[in-house]
Structure 1
Amino acid sequence: MKTKFIFLSAIASLMFALQNCNAQDKDIVAEGAELQLVANGYEFTEGPAADKDGNVFFTDQPNDHIIEYDVEADSVFVFMEGAGRSNGLYFDDENNLIACADEEFQLIKISPNKDIEVLVDDFEGKKLNGPNDLWIAEDGGIYLTDPYYQRPYWDRTSPDLESQNVYYLAPGSKSLTMVVDDLVQPNGIIGTPDGKTLYIADIGDKKTYSYTIAEDGSLSDKSLFVEMDSDGMTLDHQGNVYITGDGVTVFDKNGKQIKHIKIDENWTANVTFGGKDRQTLFITAMDALYSLKMNVKGVR
Structure 2
Amino acid sequence: MPAREPMPQWNRRSVIGAGLGLLAAPVIGAGVASAAEATVTPQIVRLAPGLDRYLSVDTPIETIATGIRWAEGPVWVPHGDYLLFSDPPANVIRRWSRAKGTELFLSPSDAVAPDPATVREGGSNGLTLDHSGNLLIAGSGSRAVVRLDLKTKRRTVLVDRYQGKRFNSVNDLCVAADGAIYFTDPPYGLVGGDQSALKEQPHNGVYRWTPGGAVELVDGTLSRPNGIALSGDGKTLFVSVSDEQEPRIMAYALDAHGLPTARTLWLDAKPMLAKAAPGLPDGMKIARDGTHFNSVPGGMMLLTPEAEPLGLIATGAPIPNCAFGEDGRTLFLTANDRVLRLRLKVSAL
**What band does the TM-score fall into relative to the shorter chain?**
0.7 to 0.9
Aligned to 1:215: 256
Provide the secondary structure at the position in 1 that maps to 2:328: coil
Q: 1:51 and 2:103 equivalent?
A: no
How far does the alpha carbon of each residue in 1:208-247 deviate from its partner, in whole angstroms, 9 at most, with x for none? Answer: 1111122212012211111125211011122111111421
Greater fraction strand:
1
Q: Which amino acid aligns with 2:208?
A: Y
List structure 1 runs of 4+ shifted beyond 4 angstroms: none
Provide the secondary structure at the position in 2 that maps to 1:226: strand
Q: Partners in 2 of 1:287 and 1:234 — Cα distance?
A: 20
How far does the alpha carbon of each residue in 1:103-124 deviate from its partner, in whole angstroms, 9 at most, with x for none? Answer: 1211100001211000011111
TM-score of the superposition, structure 2-length normalised? 0.74
Q: 1:62 and 2:113 equivalent?
A: no
Q: Partners in 1 of 2:57 and 2:199 — Cα distance?
A: 48
Gaps in structure 1 of 5+ consecutive residues: 1-22
Please say if residues 232 and 286 of structure 2, whose CA atoms lie closer than 8 Å, have aligned partners that are also in contact.
no
Give the alignment of 1:24-173 within 5 angstroms. Answer: 24=50, 26-29=52-55, 32-53=58-79, 54-71=81-98, 73=99, 75-84=101-110, 85-112=123-150, 113-152=152-191, 157-170=197-210, 172-173=211-212
Q: 1:224 and 2:274 equivalent?
A: no
Give the alignment of 1:170-249 within 5 angstroms. Answer: 170=210, 172-204=211-243, 205-228=246-269, 230-245=281-296, 246-249=298-301
C-alpha spacing 1:218/1:150, structure 2 compared with 1 (3 Å) = same
Please say if residues 302 and 310 of structure 2, whose CA atoms lie closer than 8 Å, have aligned partners that are also in contact.
yes
Provide the secondary structure at the position in 2 that maps to 1:26: helix
Q: Partners in 2 of 1:101 and 1:26 — Cα distance?
A: 37
Q: Partners in 2 of 1:25 and 1:164 — Cα distance?
A: 34
222-231 vs 79-88, which moves further:
222-231
Q: Partners in 1 of 2:290 and 2:153 — Cα distance?
A: 33
Aligned to 1:16: none
Report the CA distance between 1:30 and its aligned residue: 5.4
How far does the alpha carbon of each residue in 1:58-94 deviate from its partner, in whole angstroms, 9 at most, with x for none? Answer: 00111111111124x1511111111211000001121
Q: Partners in 2 of 1:249 and 1:278 — Cα distance?
A: 18
Please say if residues 102 and 131 of structure 1, whose CA atoms lie closer than 8 Å, have aligned partners that are also in contact.
yes
Provide the secondary structure at the position in 1 that maps to 2:89: helix
Q: Larger Cα Rg: Structure 1 or Structure 2?
A: 1
Q: Partners in 1 of 2:51 and 2:186 — Cα distance?
A: 37
Report the CA distance between 1:158 and its aligned residue: 4.8
Q: Partners in 2 of 1:270 and 1:78 — Cα distance?
A: 20
Provide the secondary structure at the position in 2 that maps to 1:67: strand
Q: Partners in 2 of 1:105 and 1:81 — Cα distance?
A: 17
Gaps in structure 2 of 5+ consecutive residues: 1-48, 111-122, 270-279
C-alpha spacing 1:24/1:249, structure 2 compared with 1 (3 Å) = closer
Report the CA distance between 1:173 and its aligned residue: 2.2
Aligned to 1:254: 306
Aligned to 1:291: 341
Aligned Cα RMSD in Å? 2.1
Please say if residues 201 and 208 of structure 1, whose CA atoms lie closer than 8 Å, have aligned partners that are also in contact.
yes
Q: 1:267 and 2:308 equivalent?
A: no
Q: Which has the higher contact order (CA 8 A, sep 6+)?
A: 2
How far does the alpha carbon of each residue in 1:151-207 deviate from its partner, in whole angstroms, 9 at most, with x for none? Answer: 3599x535211111100011x222311011221211011112221111111112301
223-232 vs 105-114, which moves further:
223-232
